[in-house]
Amino acid sequence: MSGLDGRPQRVWPEEEDVVPILAPRRGMLDADRAAGQRRRPPRLTAADFTTERMLRPAGRPPEDGWRRTVYQLSGGRLAIAPSAGELRRRELIAQVKTPIVGCRTVAFVSRKGGVGKTTTCLLAGHTFAAHRGDRVIALDANPDAGTLGHRLRREHTETLPRLLRERQAIRRYADVRAYTSQAPSRLEVVAGDERSEIANALGKTDVARAVDLLERHFNLLCLDTAAGVLAPANQGVLAAADQLVVVSTPSLDTARAASATLDWLEDHGYAQLAQSGVVALNGIRAEPGAVDVDRIEEHFDSRCRACIRIPWDPHLDTGAEVTPEQLRPETRDAYLELAAAIACGFTEATERRS
């Protein structure tokens, strides 16, 4: 409906129906929610003055749900105030857009295979690329026939080993682009080589050279790695990483292995990477099982920056190309939350490098 002045009338919910966007809940991105507020709050800077944070949300049409239907049916004359969920989504997107100085490298690691590490790396990359305006790339640093390149439609057959062999001839972004495949989200991917005699030769120095080359042309680099942390290539990954995402499932053995990964990192000079890392719990089912997922999440919350639950999604069970639009809405929201949790560390990574 319209007011006396002809402008659209805003219909706001009752006060008791409004849920504060920053109200604590399980899986939220409050970096200080761990017991005792272990770390100081993020330092506020001019970068916090984003459109999503500082403009009144009522000025934008609803993005989905019945509010958007009402808005469209009324021709834009009746705009219902955004829901708490929509406000939260806007806040997460603002966090995902945190500015990066130079390039930041995020490594996705796990002690056990089959936990969805490659998928997590790829979908986190898709989420960043879809919402950021800079360049985002995912690199298959798995020397054991990594499958990252098979999870999107490839534009050519170029691989990481060939990129490394010809790195001296690469001067500009346009040169790098000949070795990457780009998804509709704008995420670019450098695929690994499936030929074992070539892939197994990937070592610590090769990973360092690849990261050194790509960080000249990209702002965010997501590294998919082999299972374990002791392989030479993974040692190169740890040396190059600004942040870690430890991937696990909610089963007892894989969660124990993920915690053992944090133990190893703390005992071998990577304590800061472990404490500032994010744990992604993949494949959470709607129905409760024998394992207490709440306790697993509390364990990792006390050791890392955040622990994010990723629900089971039938689209990810195929092992084929991953299309973010075919994921369930709750899965897309979970990856948005994961990306926002990672982005919380961009400022800290800058301070460590300076």
pLDDT tens, 203-250? 788 889 999 999 999 999 999 988 888 777 888 889 999 999 999 999
With cut-offs at 50, 70 and 90, classify the pLDDT of residue 18: very low
Q: What pLDDT, on the 0 to 100 scale, is given for residue 200?
A: 54
Q: What pLDDT, on the 0 to 100 scale, is given for residue 125?
A: 97
Same-domain status, 286 and 348: yes
On average, the pLDDT of the chain sits at 82
Same-domain status, 183 and 321: yes
Same-domain status, 280 and 315: yes
Q: What pLDDT, on the 0 to 100 scale, is given for residue 37?
A: 44
Same-domain status, 57 and 112: no
Q: What pLDDT, on the 0 to 100 scale, is given for residue 122?
A: 96
Q: What pLDDT, on the 0 to 100 scale, is given for residue 184?
A: 94
* 31 within some domain: no
Same-domain status, 320 and 206: yes
What pLDDT, in 10s, does the model give residues 310-342? 999 999 887 778 999 999 999 999 999 999 999
> Contact, 207 vs 237, CB < 8 A?
yes
What lies within 8 Å, CB to CB, of 223 at 6+ separation is 105, 106, 107, 108, 121, 138, 139, 141, 207, 211, 237, 240, 241
Domain range for 264:
104-353
Same-domain status, 243 and 123: yes
Same-domain status, 227 and 116: yes
* 19 within some domain: no
Of 60 and 142, more confident = 142
Same-domain status, 292 and 208: yes
What pLDDT, in 10s, does the model give residues 135-170? 999 999 887 666 787 778 888 888 898 999 999 999
With cut-offs at 50, 70 and 90, classify the pLDDT of residue 38: very low
Q: What pLDDT, on the 0 to 100 scale, is given for residue 64?
A: 64
By mean pLDDT, which of 19-23, 62-66, 82-86, 105-109 is the weakest?
A: 19-23
With cut-offs at 50, 70 and 90, classify the pLDDT of residue 76: low
Average pLDDT over residues 34-49: 60
Same-domain status, 69 and 134: no
Check pLDDT > 90 for residue 280: yes
* 154 within some domain: yes
* 244 within some domain: yes
- Among the listed residues 66, 64, 191, the one whose alpha carbon sits nearest the alpha carbon of residue 121: 191
Same-domain status, 123 and 58: no
* 253 within some domain: yes
With cut-offs at 50, 70 and 90, classify the pLDDT of residue 40: low
Check pLDDT > 70 for residue 63: no
pTM above threshold 0.75: yes
CATH number at residue 341: 3.40.50.300
> Contact, 241 vs 276, CB < 8 A?
no
Number of domains the chain contains: 2
Q: What pLDDT, on the 0 to 100 scale, is given for residue 277?
A: 96
Same-domain status, 162 and 54: no
The two counts, helices (H) then strands (E), for the chain are: 14, 10
Check pLDDT > 90 for residue 32: no
State the Cα–Cα distance between residues 149 and 159, nearest whole angstrom.
9
Same-domain status, 78 and 147: no
Q: What angle do CA 206, 212, 215 make, to 5 degrees?
A: 135
């319209």: which residue's tokens? 2
